[in-house]
Chain A
Amino acid sequence: MVVFLHELRQNRLVVTIWTLSIAFFLATCVMLFPQMKDSMGDLNASFSSMGAFTEAFGMDRLNFTTLIGFYGVECSNIIGIGGAFFAAMIGISSLSKEEKDHTVEFLLTHPISRDRVMAEKLLSLVMELVLMNFVVLLVAIASIRMIGEDIPWKEIFLLHGANAFLQLELVFLCFGISAFLKKHGFGIGLGIAIILYFLNLIANITEEAKFLKHLTPFGYADAADLVTEGKMDVTQICFGILVSVLVTLAGWIRYRRKDLP
């Protein structure tokens, strides 16, 4: 597990910064809830009648005056966007950064196979996501406790669980794409995350574009759907994971015979 531990060590600063940033903004958001709750009566009606904007963020189905409604609209977006960007970034740079920085020559002229390098790198990415999500979940629970609200365990686990699957899907997808790149590819990774996010917003706005929900992991991580239905769309999660695994597999095959600089 030399490469696995090396990767964790190499990425420790990035993981720490992203984890603390997401956790900080999440906690700040939760802390705002008591203040917002008191002045929310009229605002809730306003937020519920803003047409496309309301539908895009699921505010027509979530009650802003309840903790889980507020958490679903505000906090879930922080985890969703922050987590997706983080996953896309670490996934897309995992293999390509070694080529861009020419460190791949050092790594692969040691007695270690490309299969093993890819497996250990992928495992380290999954571990980084687990660590990030664990800390963010703990901070979320602690923050809710601090403002004296009851913890809606089921919904919290649903929201955080679905976002973890979303990040997993993105990290596999970007890792697979990373095998085809020679440069860093940050732009590609972040671009993928942004496009997938907006696909879900568009799907929420119009009935005609509803099918887009099935093309993006943000579809099954949509807080309004999760809270109102009380369950994850397992079929869509499986479909998403399958697609990202296929892309990873394609990248894996490519990387095994790739000309390395």
Chain B
Amino acid sequence: MSDDKNVIITKALTKTYGKARGIEHVDLCVKEGEFFGFMGPNGAGKSTTIRVLLGLLPRSDGQAYVFGLDSWADKVSILKRIGYLPSESFYYPRMKVKDILHLSEKLHGINCKKSREELCERLQLDPDRRVEELSFGNRKKVGIVAALQHQPELLILDEPTSGLDPLMQKVFFDILCERNAAGTTVFMSSHVLSEVQNYCHRGAIIKQGNIIASGNLDEWKKSGIRKVNFRGNADVQSLPDVKNLTVIGTQISFLYDGDVQTLLRILANGNVSDVTIQEPDLEEIFLHYYEEV
């Protein structure tokens, strides 16, 4: 894996729907071999960004490159090397699962019988069933096999685990980790932050169409933000950098992004019986950014 080899780059990428906002000035950089988490709530612009990268939507402004190629002009060359899993998978209802997967194989022009059979077995997907008979979760499995069977260099996954039961989620992430270890770049949008925390190296947070934070997830945790929990009374209101203050009885917790000496002085001056200061988890960092911007 070459650190400076970028698989996805967007520069001031903008997509508008008439006067409505889609995404604005999105700057993203995903390096080869990375497991990248793209976070944001519903309607933040995750799917719009992905659709622009896949050539389903023409961009309104800015630039988007995948494998160094223009995402709109060179989309056919790009899509040969991509596996895409949509958040909701829709297929031709009268077709059987095996026909869908075979159609996908033919559109890629690659024989992937062995890989397909292996994936169907691991995901417990019956290829002889008709698509119209499948549950949401099983349709998702069809999407996973279709996205992975041709051994793409880049996987773009939009809310990949919605509809999958916890056991299947584990199988799915095992497969993703194997592929990632073998060199496949994974770009995963999700609002399940625990997934991103457990599997991703780097990430970006999008809010109302704008990227509000991006970088290495470990570095985010090691940044100045700390989660403070204590029992008792202290004048935390006087602290200038307190976020997400929660008071349940005498139990008080908050995110703190200020001077540690000031924090300790305030706690020492109060009546505190127990205190923990720890790195926040991704969800807390996410909320921190969302309330900050």
| A interface residues with partner B (beta carbon < 8 Å) | 2, 6, 10, 101-103, 105-113, 257, 259-260
Asked if residues B107 and A112 are in contact (CB atoms below 8 Å), the reply is yes
- Nearest Cβ in chain B — how far from A9, in angstroms? 9
The residue in chain A whose Cβ has the minimal distance to the Cβ of B146 is A106
Complex A-B, nearest 9 residue pairs according to Cβ-Cβ distance, in ascending order: A102-B90, A110-B107, A111-B79, A111-B80, A109-B84, A2-B106, A260-B56, A111-B76, A257-B58
The residue in chain A whose Cβ has the minimal distance to the Cβ of B103 is A6
- Nearest Cβ in chain A — how far from B72, in angstroms? 9
Contacts of B55 in A (CB 8 A): 108
Whether B91 is near chain A, meaning CB under 8 Å from some CB there, is yes
Asked if residues B91 and A110 are in contact (CB atoms below 8 Å), the reply is no
- Nearest Cβ in chain A — how far from B45, in angstroms? 14
Whether B199 is near chain A, meaning CB under 8 Å from some CB there, is no
- Nearest Cβ in chain B — how far from A125, in angstroms? 17
Contacts of B136 in A (CB 8 A): none
The residue in chain B whose Cβ has the minimal distance to the Cβ of A10 is B92
Q: How many contacts A-B (CB < 8 Å)?
A: 58
- Nearest Cβ in chain A — how far from B143, in angstroms? 8
The residue in chain A whose Cβ has the minimal distance to the Cβ of B83 is A109
Asked if residues A109 and B17 are in contact (CB atoms below 8 Å), the reply is no
Contacts of B146 in A (CB 8 A): 106
Asked if residues B58 and A102 are in contact (CB atoms below 8 Å), the reply is no
Given A106-B91, A259-B17: A2 in contact with B58 (beta carbons within 8 A): no
Contacts of B88 in A (CB 8 A): 102
Instruction: From the candidates B56, B58, B92, B106, name the one contacting A109 in the complex (CB within 8 A).
Output: B56
Name 18 extra pairs, CB < 8 A, besides A105-B86, A112-B76.
A2-B107, A10-B94, A101-B90, A101-B92, A102-B90, A105-B90, A106-B86, A106-B89, A108-B54, A109-B56, A110-B79, A110-B104, A110-B107, A111-B108, A113-B76, A259-B17, A259-B56, A260-B51
Whether B162 is near chain A, meaning CB under 8 Å from some CB there, is no
Alpha-carbon gap, A5 to B106, bound state (A):
11
Asked if residues A109 and B54 are in contact (CB atoms below 8 Å), the reply is yes
The residue in chain A whose Cβ has the minimal distance to the Cβ of B22 is A259
Given A2-B103, A6-B103, A110-B108: A105 in contact with B91 (beta carbons within 8 A): no
Instruction: From the candidates B56, B100, B106, name the one contacting A108 in the complex (CB within 8 A).
Output: B56
Contacts of B106 in A (CB 8 A): 2
Whether B57 is near chain A, meaning CB under 8 Å from some CB there, is yes
Asked if residues A111 and B107 are in contact (CB atoms below 8 Å), the reply is yes
Alpha-carbon gap, A2 to B108, bound state (A):
10
- Nearest Cβ in chain A — how far from B32, in angstroms? 20
A101, A112, A259, A260: which has the most chain B beta carbons within 10 Å?
A259
Whether B77 is near chain A, meaning CB under 8 Å from some CB there, is yes
Contacts of A113 in B (CB 8 A): 75-76
Contacts of A6 in B (CB 8 A): 103
- Nearest Cβ in chain A — how far from B83, in angstroms? 9
